[in-house]
Every structure is written in C-alpha cells, then in structure tokens.
Amino acid sequence: MKAPSLALKRLDRTVEKSVTGTVGAQESRQVRSWNVVSWLGYIRTNEANMTFCKSALAIAAICVAVGCSGSSTSSSSSSTSTTGATGSTSTSGSTGASTSSSTTGHASSSASSTTGTSSSSSSTTGTSSSSTGGTSGASCSAADAQFTSTDQNEYWSDGDFGVFDHQWNCQSQGGQVNCGSETLYACSYSSWYVTANMPAGNTAVATYPDVQENFNDVAVSSFNTITSSFAEQSPHVGDYEAAYDIWLNGVASNGSNEVMVWVDNYNQVPAGNVGGTTEISGVTWQVWTTDDHSYIAFVPAANITSGNVDLLAMFNYLINLGWISQSSVLDQVCFGFEICSTNGQDGTFTVSNFSLTAN
C-alpha cells in the first residue's frame, strides 16, 4: 500500500467487529419438502424402475439360456463409463463456480486432482470432498462459500481470524477511486477468493480484501515464534500486489508502523526507497522504507505464490536496524491483495491456503 493514503481509511479491528454481528454463525442448509405431488412423482418413478427391473431380469434369463457374453460385457463397460462420468461431473460441479477466471481455474485443478481420485472410488466420497472445500489447500467455490460479500467493508469472523472485504478507498466510502464491482466468497479464513473489476489506469490502492488476526498490543519481544504460510493466485492484469499487511504500535494511528511483506507484485512500487537487503526464510528481500519508518515493505527478488515466512525474524531485523522500537507491540497481521486496477475487467484473486502461528 502506498503510505500517504493509507492512514485515511484503514479501520481498527474493534470497529470492524461491530460490522459483522453474528454472520460467522450462519450456515447454508437445504431442506427437502415432501408433499402429495412429490410422493406421486416418487411412486411413478419407482413404478418405472420396477418395469425396467422386470425387463432386465427377462433379458438376463434369455442371456443365461442362449449365451450373450459379448452383450453383457458391453453393458458392463457402458455402466462403468456412466459411473465415471457421474463421478467427474460431481467433482467439476462442486468446483465449477470457482472457475470464473483462469486464475481460479488453476486453483481448482490442483484441488480437483485429489477430489477426482476420491470421487472415482465412490460418489459418496466425492460429495464429502466438496463439502470440505474450506480446508487448507482446497479451492473455494461460490456454491461452497460460508460467506459472500458484495457490500463494501463487510467482515466475517471465522474462529480467531476474520475475512474482510475491505473496499476502503472507494469513492462511495469517501475515498479516491471510482471502484467497480467486487464480490468476495469465503469457505474459511484459509480458503477464499474475490472477483474485482477496477478501472483501467488506476494506480491508487482501491481495495484490500484480506484475512486477518488481531492482537492486543502484545510485545514483539514476548514471542518465540511468529510464522505464516500462504498460497495465492492472481490474474496478472492491471496493477496490484499480494501482500502481508502488519501493524505494530497501533493500527493506522499516530506512531504506528506498517510492515508489509509483498510476495506477488504486478506493476506496483512501494513507498519510500530501498534501505537494505536481507535473506529471511530462504528468500532475498529488498527492504523499502519511508524516512520516518512508518511504512516498511519487504519485497522479494522474484515473485512467490506460495511459501512460509518468518515474520518474527523480519521484526527482529528491523529492531536491529533501529527502524522500529525494541519495545514494539504487535496489533494486527493481515494477508490479502492490494488491488488498484484490473484494466476494467473481472479479475479473480484466490487464497487457497493461509496459516499463522504466533506464540
């Protein structure tokens, strides 16, 4: 995020929670309603099935009498082919809604290879796989989503985490950008995606859909570990980056430090200048900073779409440079996409895995 506009619209998590109410407790359920018409249809269907079964038995008896092994094999093969098609249809049906773009399609293909194996063994397993679409590493689909947001700045709680459709810099929110549409679908905090349409040529951050965990001024020095894993995919159109956005010493307030970790950059440039280079988690990072170190960004030499990041090592690096105080406290850790432009077309941004360990 470009630092000068940042403090204008970012919200404290306590305010965000007030937006959500009890959305996280909602579940989507289907209830079948049986009435007289339904029962008549059921009976007629079963009458037709009985007629088919009687015909099948008669044919089987003729086959036993005269021998028709070739036809029997052909029928069996046809049955196997039908079962296979049913399995694949069930699998693609559960992920089909997420293939609204090539980006989400890639995410679906990695998950469907596992799901496909399950569904080939039994249709029941295939159904079970689609219902666990919110687990880490699996792709989320609109059909499986536990939370859907088209409203600006809507927030959904999932355990210790929240998924936030943070359209903070849109003109309708008093911001700078004439934003297009944006819809977020979340199966869990670690499996969600957003489809956004932001104006061509825009270079100011318009939205930051993200997953986040809040901390209450916990001293950085008190942690033994702060590590995170992620996996994401993006459309490679327009102007954006996938990034951690971490707040120390307050959230977008006077005296706070914003520490970003960019992992997948497409046409964005951090605020400030390069102030150092370091290797952390096996990655070489350029470290950008403003003069007052209120904004700091770790930017990798090459884009990363999945991996593990040692956040505590980054904080300690900054403390050793004197860029942040030794008494710094952790307030919030977010991961998402700073979206400026999608060239005026729909672009899909997917998080298929996210974890945060802090102790």
| Structure confidence by residue, pLDDT tens digits, 146-155 | 999 998 899 9
How are strands ordered across the β-sheet holding 283-289? 154-158, 161-165, 210-219, 329-341, 239-248, 257-266, 295-300, 283-289, 273-280
**So what's the pLDDT on residue 138?**
62
Contact 349, 337 (CB under 8 A): yes
Provide the 10 A C-beta neighbour count for residue 276.
Answer: 15
Q: 337 with 209: CB under 8 angstroms?
A: yes
User: DSSP labels for 261-305?
Assistant: EEEEEES---SSEEEEEEEETTEEEEEEE-TTSSEEEEEESS--S
Strand pairing of 283-289 and 273-280? antiparallel
- Kindly give the pairing relationship between strand 191-196 and strand 182-188: antiparallel
Q: What is the per-residue pLDDT across 214-270, written as a single tens digit (0 to 9) for each?
A: 999 999 999 999 999 999 999 999 999 999 999 999 999 999 999 999 999 999 999
Written as six digits, the tokens of 359 are 């102790």
CB 295 within 8 A of CB 6: yes
For the chain, what are the domain ranges? 3-21+141-358, 36-131
pTM of the shown model: 0.65
Instruction: Specify whether the backbone of 271 is left (phi greater than 0), alpha (psi in -120 to 50) or beta.
Output: beta
**Candidates 3.40.50.1980, 2.60.200.20, 2.60.120.180, 3.40.250.10; correct CATH number of 3-21+141-358?**
2.60.120.180
pLDDT, tens digit, 9 for 90 and up, residues 310-322 = 999 999 999 999 9
Contacts of 238 (CB under 8 A, 6+ apart): 198, 200, 266, 267, 339, 340, 341, 342, 343, 347
Q: Which residue has the tokens 């992920």?
A: 95
CA atoms within 13 A on the CB side of 204: 16
Which DSSP helix (H) or strand (E) runs through 121?
Answer: helix 102-121
Question: Which SS3 state, helix, strand or coil, does residue 195 take?
Answer: strand
What's the pLDDT band for 341 if we cut at 50, 70, 90?
Answer: very high
